[in-house]
């Protein structure tokens, strides 16, 4: 009865120690693995496929025991998988919304039956995800599947979506991409990480049992994220989305490897971001300290928390931390290498005068470390800037609310923040001013599919979860072709791109010198910094129609500087004030319609009537955007717990726009309106071929009451200016119409910090029809101009 241990009842009675955790059984999962001979195959076309002669990767549990092996897929497997996914997409997307919803719901009941197998397998693979979480995800997305055509009208699925994750990505984050993709009618190829592979394979099998058509969900396992890049190469794939860490070997590699393939890619680096944990003096300090301990010292933590404490409560926070940590045990690290990193980080912090609070002293070696609070660090110290992978919690102090926000924002990451205060106004103001995607008030690490998760700054280029998270898997049904044609990467020297010399201008013997245009920076018209100009050719080709400034890197720099100065103020303006400013631009265009129409006429060769029609459409488009200003809004979200959950659209900041050749005036005001209506500032590069309408529009901008610097126009060599935009870290997004090389260059370059890219490879005489004003086209534009923030204020 007493078991094999020698501890007597009296011993325990005196020490009151906690017994060993009862070992949980994994028999069901083991039986499933045994059924597959512990060698899992790929899941293609609704069944397990075990190709011979493949390399295998073995999964080892924390005690060193072999769990199973997975196949490393090769090129043949990828093409087989892709053709299956294409068929899967046909079958799945032709089903009705109701049928798709039913499949997701059926999986819920199947999960109920195989609850044990799933949870045991997750535990065995250390990819913890409770079945109730999966059920919540499925139920949430089944309702979206059901109502797709009702609530998201005029959008259609993309086709085959590849979901790629890193080894340390959680099962939850993976399904936060897979399920909405399926719910919207796409077929999905999952490239799971090492630990998530077995559970994903099991769930794919269960999905087939729930009636998912063969090929709608395929799973390819491999050695690392490079498999994701190989999958992306397949021409059947329409979209690649990545979740996981943002290390050079994973996210950045994937972005660089897929550059030039003509495939849009988005990344959610949900792992490893530095997140502030802010405790104000008006907080329930005890709860806040408990929260901090829970967040910072868990074994598999996704964020590196930095504790920011208001100076006047530092003592009470620290004394509570000390007391609460007294009895905590060492936390396991992933490897001995991690231990070396942790030791080095702690040592360095101590050298800089930091003091430690530890529950026990660190064992001399081994892959474990006691929970450690590092007091007296500075924002610049390495354990804050480049945190080590262990149970370390650096503590910073701040004096006032403003300083707290500054501290919280002073990081390249923008994943999440936790703020603790009982003061509602303070909480709301802090939440508003922190540039992070998720704000948890008096709580931390709350995940639910209805909360949109969008990393700001370097923490992501897409939104997952919520209605907002659906649009990455959809495109407006009125758009004819995907923006980028599939291609193979061009051989190009990235260092040489955009360095070609501009044509020189020499005096000739023409009778009347053509007109010279100016560019627009910081609300003033000016020449380029270099003072040079380039000739603009008339539509029929030869000759010189006019001269425009040959802008370069320094012009972009000046424009961005002017833009970032006014953008925060513009974003804070009331939507109706923004609307009035945009109406004033429309009015201004109306006043100058003759001038502008003339520039369209001489530049593009359109007849005067057609040119006037384009001006007319542009006035309407600007008024459309003015009207949209107070219609673009977030809302409250239906969380399963009680409290107040908000999603708020926020401006990205400064957007760089390289304008298309088609409809040079209309396309410019359409993009300008989308960016400015949502609170952004723009730096626009007019089409190199047809710059004059944009340059003559400057007089309208000058006369409008838009703040000086909000809209900047810089003309010149497209490639050279593209390089300048790509290499300015303040610019958060680039919308690009241009060459295939330009697209490839941007995809390759804009990885650190991440920029949101909207790329369009334009060829002669085709491309987007800007005269269309279909609502989903405009919606697509403004959705690209905002980033979402979710704020969660739980109540009892």
Question: Which residues in this chain contact other proteins in the complex, by CB under 8 A?
Answer: 1-3, 5, 7-13, 15-19, 21-22, 282-288, 290-291, 294, 316, 319-320, 323, 326-327, 420, 422, 442-443, 642-643, 794-796
In whole angstroms, the minimum distance from the beta carbon of 662 to other proteins comes to 54
Beta carbons within 8 Å of 278's beta carbon, 6+ residues apart: 308, 398, 404, 407, 408, 417, 418, 419, 420, 430
The answer to whether the CB of 692 falls within 8 A of the CB of 521 is no
3-state SS, residue 526? strand
CB 81 within 8 A of CB 189: yes
Distance CA 744, CA 259 (A): 5
If the CB atoms of residues 633 and 642 are measured against other proteins, the closer one turns out to be 642
- On whether the CB atoms of residues 342 and 392 are closer than 8 A, the answer is yes
* C-alpha–C-alpha distance, residues 550 and 559, integer Å: 14
DSSP string, 560-619: HHHHHHHHHHHHHS-HHHHHHHHHHHHHHHHHTHHHHHHHHHHHH---HHHHHHHHHHHH
CB nearer to other proteins: give 380 or 796: 796
- Tokens 């969380």 -> residue: 639
- CB 586, CB 622: distance < 8 Å: yes
Q: How far is the CB of 18 from other proteins (least distance, A)?
A: 6
Q: Which is nearer to other proteins, 5 or 773 (CB)?
A: 5
Nearer to other proteins (CB atom), residue 78 or residue 373:
373
564 burial (CB, 10 Å; 0-12 / 13-18 / 19+) is: middle
Q: Which lies closer to other proteins via its Cβ, residue 8 or residue 109? A: 8
Complex with other proteins: residue 17 or 540, whichever CB lies closer: 17
Are residues 685 and 715 in contact, defined by beta-carbon separation less than 8 angstroms?
yes
- Supply the minimum distance, in Å, between the C-beta of residue 321 and other proteins: 11
Q: Supply the minimum distance, in Å, between the C-beta of residue 434 and other proteins.
A: 19
Nearer to other proteins, 328 or 492 (CB): 328
DSSP string for 140-209: HHHHHHHHHHHHSTTEEE-SEEEEEE-TT--HHHHHHHHHHHHHTT-EEEEE--TTTHHHHHHHHHHHHH
- Cβ proximity to other proteins, 8 vs 574, nearer residue: 8
How far apart are alpha carbons 91 and 733 in whole angstroms? Answer: 36
Question: Nearest distance from residue 19's CB to other proteins, in Å?
Answer: 3
Least separation in angstroms between residue 774's CB and other proteins is 44
Residues 39-51 as b/e (b if ≥16 CB within 10 A, e otherwise) read: ebbbbbbbeebee
Taking the complex as a whole, the smallest distance from the CB of residue 444 to other proteins amounts, in Å, to: 10
Name 386's Cβ contacts closer than 8 Å, sequence gap at least 6: none
CB of 6 to other proteins, least distance (A): 10
Cβ nearer to other proteins, comparing 315 with 705? 315
- Please, where are the H alpha helices in 210-284? 226-233, 253-258
Residue 123 C-beta: closest distance to other proteins, Å: 14
Q: How far is the CB of 25 from other proteins (least distance, A)?
A: 14
Which helix (H) or strand (E) segment holds residue 276: the answer is strand 273-279
Kindly state the smallest distance separating residue 273's Cβ from other proteins, in Å.
Answer: 23
Is residue 269 within 8 Å of 460, Cβ to Cβ? yes
Structure-block tokens of residue 748:
């390759």
Contact 589, 673 (CB under 8 A): no
Which CB, 288 or 724, lies closer to other proteins? 288
Smallest separation (angstroms) from other proteins to the CB of 398: 19
């Amino acid at each position: 009865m007493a078991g094999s241990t020698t501890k007597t009842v009296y011993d325990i009675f005196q020490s009151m120690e906690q017994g060993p955790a009862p070992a949980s059984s994994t028999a069901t999962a083991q039986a499933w693995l045994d059924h597959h001979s512990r060698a899992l195959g790929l899941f293609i076309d609704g069944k397990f496929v075990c190709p011979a002669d493949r390399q295998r990767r073995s999964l080892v549990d924390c005690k060193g025991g072999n769990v199973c092996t997975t196949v490393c897929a090769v090129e043949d497997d990828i093409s087989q998988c892709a053709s299956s996914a294409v068929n899967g997409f046909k079958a799945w997307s032709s089903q009705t919304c109701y049928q798709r919803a039913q499949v997701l719901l059926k999986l819920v009941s199947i999960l109920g039956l195989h609850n044990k197998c799933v949870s045991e397998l997750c535990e065995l693979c250390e990819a913890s995800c409770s079945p109730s979480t999966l059920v919540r995800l499925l139920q949430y997305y089944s309702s979206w599947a059901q109502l797709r055509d009702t609530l998201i009208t005029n959008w259609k699925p993309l086709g085959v979506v590849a979901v790629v994750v890193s080894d340390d990505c959680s099962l939850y984050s993976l399904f936060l991409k897979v399920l909405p993709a399926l719910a919207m009618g796409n077929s999905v190829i999952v490239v799971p990480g090492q630990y998530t592979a077995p559970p994903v394979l099991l769930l794919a099998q269960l999905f087939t049992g729930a009636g998912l058509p063969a090929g709608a969900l395929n799973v390819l396992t491999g050695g690392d994220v490079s498999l994701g890049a190989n999958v992306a190469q397949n021409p059947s794939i329409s979209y690649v989305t990545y979740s996981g860490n943002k290390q050079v070997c994973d996210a950045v590699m994937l972005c660089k490897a897929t550059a030039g393939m003509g495939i849009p890619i988005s990344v959610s680096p949900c792992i490893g971001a530095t997140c502030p944990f802010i405790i104000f003096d008006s907080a329930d300090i005890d709860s806040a300290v408990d929260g901090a301990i829970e967040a910072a010292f868990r074994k598999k933590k996704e964020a590196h928390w930095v504790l920011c404490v208001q100076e006047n409560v530092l003592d009470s926070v620290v004394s509570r931390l000390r007391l609460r940590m007294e009895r905590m045990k060492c936390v396991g690290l992933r490897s001995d290498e991690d231990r070396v990193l942790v030791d080095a980080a702690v040592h360095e912090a101590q050298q800089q005068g930091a003091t430690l609070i530890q529950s026990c002293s660190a064992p001399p070696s081994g892959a474990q470390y006691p929970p450690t609070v590092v007091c007296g660090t500075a924002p610049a110290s390495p354990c804050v800037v480049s945190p080590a992978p262990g149970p370390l919690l650096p503590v910073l102090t701040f004096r006032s609310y403003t300083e707290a926000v500054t501290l919280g924002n002073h990081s390249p990451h923008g994943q999440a923040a936790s703020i603790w205060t009982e003061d509602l106004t303070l909480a709301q103001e802090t939440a508003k001013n922190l540039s992070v995607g998720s704000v948890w008030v008096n709580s931390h690490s709350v995940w639910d599919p209805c909360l949109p998760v969008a990393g700001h700054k370097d923490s992501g280029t897409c939104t997952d979860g919520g209605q907002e998270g659906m649009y990455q898997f959809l495109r407006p049904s009125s758009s004819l072709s995907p923006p980028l044609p599939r291609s193979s990467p061009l051989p190009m020297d990235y260092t040489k791109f955009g360095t070609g010399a501009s044509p020189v201008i020499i005096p000739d013997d023409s009778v009347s010198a053509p007109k010279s245009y100016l560019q627009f920076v910081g609300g003033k018209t000016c020449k380029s910094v270099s003072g040079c100009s380039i000739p603009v050719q008339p539509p029929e080709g030869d000759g010189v129609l006019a001269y425009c400034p040959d802008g370069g890197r320094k012009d972009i720099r000046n424009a961005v500087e002017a833009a970032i100065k006014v953008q925060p103020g513009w974003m804070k303006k009331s939507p109706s004030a923004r609307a009035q400013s945009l109406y004033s631009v429309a009015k201004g265009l109306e006043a100058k319609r003759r001038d502008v129409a003339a520039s369209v006429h001489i530049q593009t060769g359109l007849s005067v009537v057609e040119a006037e029609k384009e001006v007319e459409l542009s006035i309407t488009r600007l008024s459309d955007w003015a009207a949209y200003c107070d219609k673009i809004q977030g809302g409250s979200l239906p969380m399963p717990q009680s409290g107040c959950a908000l999603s708020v659209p926020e401006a990205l900041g400064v957007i760089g726009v390289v304008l298309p050749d088609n409809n040079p005036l209309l396309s410019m005001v359409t993009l300008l309106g989308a960016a400015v209506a949502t609170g952004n500032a723009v730096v626009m590069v007019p089409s190199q071929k047809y710059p004059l309408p944009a340059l003559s529009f400057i007089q309208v901008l000058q006369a409008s009451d838009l703040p000086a610097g909000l809209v900047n126009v810089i003309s010149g060599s497209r490639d050279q200016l593209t390089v300048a935009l790509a290499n300015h870290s303040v610019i958060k997004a680039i919308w690009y119409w241009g060459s295939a090389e330009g697209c490839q260059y941007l995809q390759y370059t804009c990885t650190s910090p991440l920029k949101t890219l909207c790329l369009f490879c334009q060829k002669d005489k085709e491309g987007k029809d800007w005269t269309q004003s279909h609502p989903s086209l405009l919606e697509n534009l403004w959705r690209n101009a905002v980033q979402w923030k979710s704020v969660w204020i739980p109540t009892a």
